[in-house]
Amino acid sequence: MEKSEADGPGIRVASAAGRWVVLTTVLGSSMAMLDSTVINVALPRIGEDLGTDLAALQWTVNAYMLTLAGLILLGGSLGDRYGRRRVFVVGVVWFAAASLACGLAPNAAVLIAARALQGVGGALLTPGSLALIQASFHPDDRARAVGLWSGFGGVGAAVGPFVGGWLVDGPGWRWVFLLNLPLAAVCVPVALRHVPESRDPHAHGRFDVVGAVLGALALALVTYALIAAPGRGASPVVIGAALGGVALGVAFVQVERRRADPMLPPSVFASRQFTAVNVVTLCVYAALGGYFFLSAIQLQVVAGYSALGAGAALLPTTLLMLLFSAASGELGQRIGPRVPLTAGPLIAAGGMLLMLRVGPGSGSVTGYLTDVLPAVAVLGAGLVTVVAPLTASVLASVDTARAGLASGINNAAARAAGLIAVAALPLLAGMGPDAYRDAGEFAATFRRAMPMCAGLLVLGALIAWSTVRRPSEPGAEAARRPECAVHCGVTSPPLEPAPETVRPETTG
């Protein structure tokens, strides 16, 4: 069963077919989201079991995000060309195989390499999951479908610390990775049976392998410099890696400008709305990346929680996203993205500042109720407010045929932001190689790191308020103008959207 973009997607969320599509995309994307958060609760036990320092733990997190961020644009393009369902299924199988390698890793080096392979699988399945929704559902139902995807996918990310804690305290941290195997065993047959195939009929030309390699190497060198700096200082190796990363980043931009079929077409940023929302994404996900990396360690090393206790302490965020994300997507559809993208980061910033109350006395029931619960509840309210409208705004700012590219760019921005945050925050906060083994040292650096994360969220809110608009507002969506439609690759550039595109009044 295959459907081209010209057929016009028409599946309704309330139909059986719609429920199968949502289930499949949520299962696949949850594997990637779950692994990006579940690992944080397991880090102290991994460090103890494998005898690693903080830098190795950072690489355990960042090896995954590095390949994911560096290749996710290529993954979106592969889906648009060869079929979004096909590439999605390949990504799920690849991710499951890499997860098995992580679970069997005998040392830190093998674990880090397997995590990098996981990121390759994530780069194939993550943009495909969102592109399948955009290409399959009726325009009037896309906002609700994205809200359901964001909500349940967000639950997969948020429930990760709880599930990870239960596994770490039970059968062991290796089962954090082996958990992906049964998820993949359900996801693949459901996708093949119930999800329609779709592709971009206008996709052509060679893949931008040079651009993908340059982008990944630039991120890798900058990440290495940031992680190695606390131990090596301003050594020639660290400085050389940093300068090399910057140089490769400049080369990446130049290559993308000159290629006929670039991985990151500069023309897509002719849409001011698309550009603005991606800048907000960088701020939000940099803050979240640093928060999730450090808070799980803070709860265990400083507050004295077990791995399961630390995961359970974060459950209010999960519950809030489960209950209210779909409604948040519908609210953003009605009132437009500006208010949610401004209020959400500000609320989440308040939650991160409340985490400063978490300390040695927060391990009791009273300490949880007064210190931890208010912080995670406020943070959850902020995520509920911002996540679904942020995702819907990205897709609403481009043509449906570029759904894979748009979701790939937005996911790349999110993962790259988290990657840099995990690498940079320990350096900026002054964490030493063994900080996670010393409660006093880690608590002091945690108190310096959380205001930095909150500041990023405030910056994102200010950018959203000053740049994001409803498509109907003056200067809001440049892509509605004929000249931008031509630049963005739309063959017919009417002022009103074509039937397969998301109508501005629907998405907000």
- In which region does residue 359 sit, left (phi positive, over 0), alpha (psi from -120 to 50) or beta (all else)? beta
Please tell me whether residue 203 adopts helix, strand or coil conformation. coil
Q: What is the pLDDT of residue 83?
A: 81
Cα–Cα distance between 348 and 154 in angstroms, integer? 15
SS3 content of the chain, % helix, strand, coil (to 5): 80, 0, 20
Per-residue pLDDT in tens (0 to 9) along the chain, 508 residues: 555 444 444 677 767 777 888 888 888 877 877 776 678 888 889 988 998 888 889 999 889 988 888 887 777 778 777 888 888 899 999 999 999 999 999 999 999 999 999 999 988 887 777 778 877 777 777 777 777 776 676 666 666 677 778 888 889 999 989 988 998 999 898 888 888 787 766 666 677 788 888 888 998 999 999 988 887 778 888 899 999 999 999 999 888 888 877 777 787 787 788 888 899 999 999 999 899 889 989 999 999 999 888 888 888 887 887 788 778 877 877 888 888 999 999 999 999 999 999 999 888 899 999 999 999 999 999 998 988 888 778 877 777 666 656 777 887 888 889 889 999 998 898 888 888 888 888 999 999 999 999 999 999 999 999 988 765 543 343 333 322 222 222 222 222 222 233 322 333 3
Q: What is the pLDDT of residue 370?
A: 93
Confirm if 410 and 279 have CB atoms less than 8 A apart.
no
Dihedral sign (CA 150, 30, 419, 127)? negative
Dihedral sign (CA 190, 192, 195, 199)? positive
- What b/e readout covers 154-189, taking b as 16+ CB neighbours within 10 angstroms? bbbbbbbbbbbbbbbbeeebbbbbbbbeebbeebbe
**Long-range pairs for 469-476: beta carbons < 8 A, 24 or more residues apart:** 469/273, 469/336, 469/338, 470/336, 470/337, 470/338, 470/504, 470/508, 471/273, 471/396, 471/504, 471/507, 471/508, 472/504, 472/505, 473/336, 475/272, 476/272, 476/273
Question: DSSP code of 497?
Answer: P
Q: What is the pLDDT of residue 505?
A: 31
Cα–Cα distance between 415 and 62 in angstroms, integer? 9
Question: DSSP code of 300?
Answer: I
Q: What is the pLDDT of residue 404?
A: 59
Phi, psi of 181 (to 5 degrees): -65, -50
Cα–Cα distance between 49 and 104 in angstroms, integer? 13
Pairing of strands 197-199, 2-4: parallel
Cα pseudo-dihedral 484, 485, 491, 496, rounded to 10: -150
- What b/e readout covers 101-115, taking b as 16+ CB neighbours within 10 angstroms? bbbebeebeebbbbb
Confirm if 160 and 176 have CB atoms less than 8 A apart.
no
Number of H helices, E strands in the chain: 20, 2
Q: Of 33, 32, 13, nearest to 23 (Cα)? A: 13
Chain centroid offset of residue 297 CA: 20
